């Protein structure tokens, strides 16, 4: 068993504990949080909390995570672009088309299968049997930097950084149309689309989602944008850009339905990652270049009359 210690900030006062817990860990859904509460695995000052408990703000929660089940996943020799690796963490440049963890329709051939081959037994078990080592996710057709934990110690500390926003993730994207301002912030809650449960949308009862953006370059009909995530909701940048009226080029879910020739999926790449090393306490800052197909789109726009 491992214990995750989460200090509750004052601004969380009044929130239900299950809802707040699910906002602290990407892999911890509200139903999973409710299950942990029902099993008495969430305590404050040594006392188990009921699932309808309202946070006071300022208290500290201890979440006892169950042991990861023995994984039935197979290790697969899938090439990995390793940007950084030590005994605690591994950072990869994920290519487009690679699913992060097994899901319906993708039982293998995922990043997790590749990590099992590369790392062997050195992966955190906190993500559960289907997501060993996975701290955060990147969409299948988004490329770029992703960090995984090689032990539970690192996983707990990296997850805490996701919660307090000290783990910083930066993306670049090409969006359709021209943004009027040079920079801005989208603070709009994201949840399941009421009309299409396979999609996400800005909805009043969604989880808080904040994206900071700035314009890097302008082209006729398109804008090159850098986005910094303050939160990490599913499809956050894609949803927020579409919410602004500027969907990401190639995003057939939240933008035009017709694919862009020469472009697989959306023109979105995780270019930067900054985190505090879980063991040394030192700041680690990493970058990776734009993929060729992104650069190709930029070249096309730069040479347009």
- Helical packing angle, 30-38 and 17-24, nearest 10°: 120
User: Which stretch of DSSP H or E encloses residue 149?
Assistant: strand 143-149
Residue by residue, DSSP assigns 78-116 as ----EEEE-SSEEEEEEPTT--SS-BTTBSSSSHHHHHH
Q: Establish whether 77 is a catalytic residue.
A: no
What 8-state DSSP symbol labels residue 271?
E
Contact (CB, 8 A) for 246 and 254: no
Residues 151, 121: Cα–Cα separation, whole Å: 9
Closest CA to 101 of 76, 81, 67: 76
Percent of residues in the chain assigned helix, strand, coil, to nearest 5: 20, 30, 50
Catalytic residue (one of 18, 77, 88, 139)? 139
Q: Which residues contact 149 (CB under 8 A, 6 or more apart)?
A: 88, 89, 123, 124, 126, 133, 135, 155, 158, 278
Tokens representing 274?
């900054």
Give the active site residues: 139
């Amino acid at each position: 068993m491992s214990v995750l210690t989460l200090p509750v900030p004052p601004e969380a006062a009044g929130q239900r504990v299950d809802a707040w817990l699910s906002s602290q860990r990407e892999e911890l859904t509200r139903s999973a949080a409710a299950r942990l509460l029902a099993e008495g695995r969430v305590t404050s000052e040594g006392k188990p909390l009921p699932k309808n408990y309202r946070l006071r703000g300022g208290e500290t929660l201890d979440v006892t995570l169950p042991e990861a089940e023995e994984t039935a996943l197979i290790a697969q020799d899938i090439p990995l672009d390793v940007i950084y690796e030590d005994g605690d963490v591994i950072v990869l440049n994920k290519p487009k088309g690679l699913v992060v963890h097994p899901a319906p329709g993708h039982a293998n051939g995922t990043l997790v299968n590749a990590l099992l081959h590369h790392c062997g037994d050195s992966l955190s078990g906190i993500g559960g049997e289907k997501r060993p080592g996975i701290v955060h996710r990147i969409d299948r057709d988004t490329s770029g930097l992703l960090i995984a934990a090689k032990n539970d110690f690192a996983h707990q500390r990296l997850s805490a950084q996701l919660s307090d926003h000290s783990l910083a993730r930066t993306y670049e994207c090409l969006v359709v149309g021209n943004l009027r301002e040079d920079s801005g912030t989208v603070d709009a809650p994201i949840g399941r689309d009421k009309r299409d449960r396979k999609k996400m949308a800005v909805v009043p009862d969604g989880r808080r989602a904040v994206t900071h953006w700035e314009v890097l370059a302008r082209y006729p009909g398109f804008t090159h944008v850098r986005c910094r995530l303050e939160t990490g909701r599913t499809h956050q940048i894609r949803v927020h850009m579409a919410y602004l009226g500027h969907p990401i080029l190639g995003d057939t879910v939240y933008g035009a339905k017709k694919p862009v020739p020469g472009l697989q999926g959306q023109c979105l790449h995780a270019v930067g990652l900054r985190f505090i090393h879980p063991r040394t306490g030192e700041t680690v800052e990493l970058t990776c270049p734009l993929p060729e197909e992104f650069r190709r789109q930029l070249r096309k726009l730069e040479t347009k009359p």
